[in-house]
Amino acid sequence: MSIARTPQPPYTAVIFTSLRTDGDNGYDVMSERMNRLAAEQPGFLGIESARDSLGVTVSYWSSDEAAAAWKQVSEHVIAQERGRSVWYADYQVRVATVTRSYGATGSR
């Protein structure tokens, strides 16, 4: 996982934080599949993710509409349902508009 090379703002960030239940229960396979599938969607700009006691994943999209369309992709809908029922003890999704960005190698 590396730092996403996003364009100049504005664009949309979907901040997904989660606490896992115990056991894998098919999670790792699904997680990799969803990362690949997200990257194929219109308007996908990048994804950044880390997990220790908490999981924090931020996906970047060209617009709120592009992020909302990904939420409705059928295979992703099934994964979300399994997330709620099996994989996640708790989670929160926050949709945000990125207005400024700066870093080690300048704005991106």
Cβ-count burial 52-63 (b if 16+ within 10 Å, e if not): eeebebbbbbbe
Q: Which of 33, 52, 65, 70 lies at the binding interface for a copy of itself (CB under 8 A)?
A: 52
Q: Is the N-terminal amide bond of 10 cis, ω within 30° of 0? A: yes
Indicate whether 71 belongs to the interface with a copy of itself (CB under 8 A): no
Q: Which of 48, 62, 63, 69 lies at the binding interface for a copy of itself (CB under 8 A)?
A: 48
Pick the closer one to a copy of itself by CB: 16 or 30.
Answer: 16
Q: How far apart (Å, rounded) are the C-alpha atoms in residues 88 and 31?
A: 12
Q: Which of 24, 78, 84, 86 lies at the binding interface for a copy of itself (CB under 8 A)?
A: 84
Structural contact between residues 59 and 10, judged by C-beta atoms closer than 8 angstroms = no
Q: For binding to a copy of itself (CB under 8 A), which residues are involved?
A: 1-4, 6, 9, 13, 15, 17-19, 48-58, 64, 84, 88-105, 108
